[in-house]
Amino acid sequence: MKETKDHSLKNIVFGRGLAEFLNFFGKNYSLLSLFC
């Protein structure tokens, strides 16, 4: 039970990190496209 909980917690943290990264990348990409 504990293993499954830890695994799902890691997935949540990873998912959040990925979402934040994509959001950050998306904003920077739109800024870069303005300058390029």
- Write the pLDDT tens digit of every residue in 4-29: 788 899 999 999 999 999 999 888 88
What is the rounded distance in angstroms from the CA atom of residue 29 to the CA atom of residue 35?
Answer: 10
Q: How far is CA 22 from CA 4, 7, 18, 28, 35, in A?
A: 27, 22, 6, 10, 20
pTM assigned to the model? 0.54
- Give the model's pLDDT for residue 36: 65
Helix (H) or strand (E) holding 36: none
Domain locations along the chain: 1-36
Alpha helices in 1-36 (DSSP H): 2-35
- The tally of CA atoms less than 13 A away on the side-chain side of residue 19 is 6
